[in-house]
Chains A and B, each alone.
Chain A
Amino acid sequence: MKYILKKILTLIIALLVISIIVFIAFSVLPADAAISKLGTDATPERIEALREQLGLNRPVLERYFWWLANAVRGNFGESFQYTGVSVTSLIASRLGNSALLSLISFVMVVVFSIPIGIFSAKRKSFLGRGAMTTVTQITMGIPSFFLGVLLTYLFSLVLHWFYIGRYTPPSENFLAACGYLVFPAIAIALPKIAMTVKFLATSIRSELHKDYVRTAYAKGNTRNGVFYGHVLKNSLVPVITFMGIIVAEIVAGSIIVEKVFSVPGIGTLLITAITNRDYPVVEAVVLLIAFFIIAINFVVDMIYQAVDPRVKL
């Protein structure tokens, strides 16, 4: 109970600090939403009028508290850029796309990295191990956006497996959405798979040298029995924490990959909102991402406790 209270308190403090940082960043940045929205043709009177309307000419502190008072009541206001569109609906229309992309990426990481990690840990020869290390190191080193460009070129322009840019949201056609998102998901997942493989393999190898393994063999267990019954279980415990980090990285990594594959998700929304100085949208998106990442940490802690009875929170 105390633990949960502590977590909730941390969450609130973290979100507050983040919201303040975003506000400060926007008051330091040159240009504001009024300038951005009205274009080069606007008269100074029009820019001033829009500033008045959006409340941009009030002091930063006043604006922040006004925003905060509304935000705690769940009202994130209207977008500056898209007149008459509420921030909540703007995010809602895109959240599904980003969530599906992150989910597919995560499933890929789990499904591919665990078997490959086991396979990699079992390589004993110098050559086998060297080969695995080389492959994982190279894959880890490729940035997701670059991988994205390569994948687009190969699968869209050469093989024509998908039309870059022609994305159907899952609400319209779920299978088509998945079919499209598989490609950005590969771009996001591949480096993460490599990381997890390396992490798992190391974890298994260190487990293999522990005393209980010798005892297990002494009791007459088979090689596979020892491996899957004892070693693997124990090696997966640290991997759970690592997966938490990976989920956070997938969410962060999808921001740029969405742009590469022009998926209308939270990431593309965030990028355009920053360009347009649309801070109500930026605040809401950043807080959403922050909330998600803190929540993931919480879930990881819970799972950790469940799989390892020695851990008490």
Chain B
Amino acid sequence: MKKIRIILCSLIALVTVGVLVACGGGDNPSGQGSGTSTDGKASNSVVVGISQELDSLDPHNAAYAGTREVLFNMFEGLVKATPTGDIEPAVASEYTVAEDAMSITFKLRDGIVFCDGTPVTVEDVKYSIDRYAGIQGEGSAFSDYKDTEIVDDKTVIINLVNPNTEFIFELTCAILPEANDANVNSNPIGTGPFKYDSYTPGDKLVVVKNENYWKPGQPYLDKVTFKVVADTDMAVMQLNSGTLDIYQYLTADQAMTVGNNFNILEGNVNYVQGMFLNNARAPFDNIKVRQAIYYAVDRDLINDMVFGGKSHVIGTNMIPGASKYYNADTEKTYTHDVEKAKQLLAEAGYPDGFTFTITVPNNYAPHESTAQIIVESLAEVGITAKINLVEFNTWHAEAYVDRNYDATITAVDGRLAPFTWFIKNVSTGNKNFTNYNNPKFDELYNKAISSIDPDEKVEYYKQLQQILADDAASIYVQDPSNLVAVNNQLEGYVFYPVSAQDMSVVKYK
């Protein structure tokens, strides 16, 4: 009967040994050391952590900013975004905008091919732009699109129904091969610096170097893995353990806990973050109340406490990164002034303040901290705010789509075309989730869009920003800092004022 005991004891021993062997037998190079992987450099590959899972591999259907960021590496339009917020020719080698802004003529780049080696034809261009227009549909930025005219086998003309000088920015939409129409999701093909290798939904996307890429010498890396790590604290662990080489959107506190084998690069997330007010709901339908809140909120304090002072404090619905159109004067329209806030509240008929709810989506931790600081600031002027933290999709349906909220902390984004930042404030627009209504704004907005004189256009957009600030349409707080941890063996990482993580310029030192 001792046998049983011996068997039991040896089983324990066996499993224990097995555990230890398995640990040692994993792909662990040293068992100790700095934490950064050394095998990445050897195989010339990089693992980029992404905070949001991909919603589609089809660039025309991709809606999430996080997805566009990744697909930027696989697809290109006739033109593509540059780090300075401008555009450069990509699939096309040159373009001319007609003087009346009713058409744009493109010449295809000589010898341009898709990553599978087949040449890009003008038919592919027409197919792609028609496809994108069909998906975007009416009411989108593409509603000014008329058709694509094939002139010869190198030249196409994009015709518009209205004069629109900003339409060129929309033509960053991906050019896809018509022959691959049925497989856009399963085997996406584009002209970008990297090509599709494999995809595990919800887990990772692997792309490899496109040997046929038109930019000589690029990309430098042979392989990039985009790995979904939704939780930023988990991402910090994975950075420190050596699993990830790059991760963005870290907070100042998290950045400090990242090991010294990473460089922390500072940029901006290119969102307008703030407390958005439901202008149709009392008391926020009263301009004096909105202004009072703006005076009461200490934006610098939020920046200091949540982002270590590294964000760019703003005063309107535009990011400083769009430097050509940005109106910096709006930053000083309001200062932190408790007395003035109290006085405005009294004038508005709320000398003792009021009570309201701030709906906060749970998709971005700094929103919650921002809300807490705002609650404290408002208490100083007698306003009682309550925080209602909700799951992101619930927020999306109830607050954003149904506009059922008092105030909400969120961040709105835009694209290269300047109008994208203001379309959410047009009173009749379907994206006007703050129910903002100012006929003067609407009128000026239409002027700005249709203007074909560049200087006049800039002037209109600056005025639009001042109107939003003066009206205190919402409490625009900041363009949050974007702290990116990058493995210090890597160089070349650049920031874009649009959703893009460009891996084609990143390389090992």
Contact = CB atoms under 8 A, between A and B. Distances in A.
Contacts of A43: 136-140, 430
Interface stretch (A106-114, A244-252, A299-307): A106-114
A272 B12 CA distance: 37
Interface string B225-253: 00101000010011011111000000000
Contact of B240 (A49, A157, A180): A157
B439 interface: no
B63 A38 contact: yes
Contact of B63 (A41, A107, A115, A176): A41
A93 interface: yes
B154 interface: no
Interface stretch (B74-82, B157-165, B195-203, B350-358): B195-203
Given A175-B26, A228-B1, A163 B398 contact: no
Nearest to B33: A160
A166 B243 contact: yes
Contacts of A228: 1-2, 4-5
24 contacts: A31-B394, A35-B397, A37-B56, A41-B63, A42-B63, A43-B136, A43-B139, A45-B137, A81-B55, A115-B8, A115-B12, A156-B237, A157-B35, A159-B32, A162-B28, A162-B241, A164-B237, A175-B26, A179-B24, A182-B23, A228-B5, A229-B1, A232-B4, A264-B203
B282 interface: no
B27 A176 contact: yes
B391 interface: yes
Contacts of B135: 46
A165 B229 contact: yes
Given A83-B58, A160-B28, A49 B393 contact: no
A163 B37 contact: yes
Contacts of B22: 175, 178-179, 182
Nearest to B399: A30
A168 interface: yes
A44 interface: yes
Contact of B396 (A36, A153, A173): A36
A31 B396 contact: yes
A32 B400 CA distance: 14
A52 to B, nearest CB: 13
4 interchain residue pairs of minimum CB distance = A39-B63, A179-B26, A31-B397, A179-B22
Nearest to B61: A83
A84 B431 CA distance: 29
Interface string B21-42: 0111111101111010100000
Given A153-B237, A277-B393, 13 more contacts: A31-B397, A36-B396, A42-B63, A43-B137, A43-B139, A45-B137, A46-B135, A115-B12, A160-B32, A176-B27, A179-B25, A180-B26, A276-B393
A275 interface: yes
Contact of A275 (B61, B140, B234, B393): B393
Interface string B392-407: 1110111011000000
A157 B15 CA distance: 24
A168 B243 CA distance: 12
Interface in B312-345: none
A223 to B, nearest CB: 10
A98 interface: no
Nearest to B238: A165
Contact of B430 (A44, A165, A268): A44
Interface of B: 1-2, 4-5, 8-9, 11-12, 15, 19, 22-28, 30-33, 35, 37, 53, 55-56, 58, 61, 63-65, 135-140, 185-186, 200-203, 227, 229, 234, 237-238, 240-244, 391-394, 396-398, 400-401, 412, 430-431
User: DSSP class of A's interface residues: helix, strand, loop or mixed?
Assistant: helix
A27 B12 CA distance: 49
Contacts of A44: 139, 430
Nearest to B202: A272
Contacts of A125: none
A267 to B, nearest CB: 12
Contacts of B27: 163, 166, 168, 173, 176
Nearest to A48: B137
A83 B185 contact: yes
B228 to A, nearest CB: 9
A165 B185 CA distance: 26
Contact of A162 (B1, B8, B23, B138): B23
A271 to B, nearest CB: 9
A40 B396 contact: yes
Contacts of B391: 275
Contacts of A85: 185, 201
A304 B229 CA distance: 44
B346 to A, nearest CB: 37
Nearest to A263: B203
Contact of A224 (B1, B23, B58): B1
A46 B137 contact: yes
B137 A157 contact: no
A109 B41 CA distance: 40
Contact of A160 (B31, B400, B401): B31
A60 B8 CA distance: 55
A93 B56 CA distance: 18
A139 interface: no
A93 B201 CA distance: 10
Given A43-B430, A46-B137, A83 B56 contact: yes
Interface in A264-297: 264, 268-269, 272, 275-277
A154 to B, nearest CB: 12
Contacts of A156: 237, 241
A193 to B, nearest CB: 12
Given A83-B185, A229-B1, A165 B19 contact: no
A262 interface: yes
Contacts of B26: 162, 175-176, 179-180
A48 to B, nearest CB: 10
Contacts of A222: 1
A112 B11 CA distance: 9
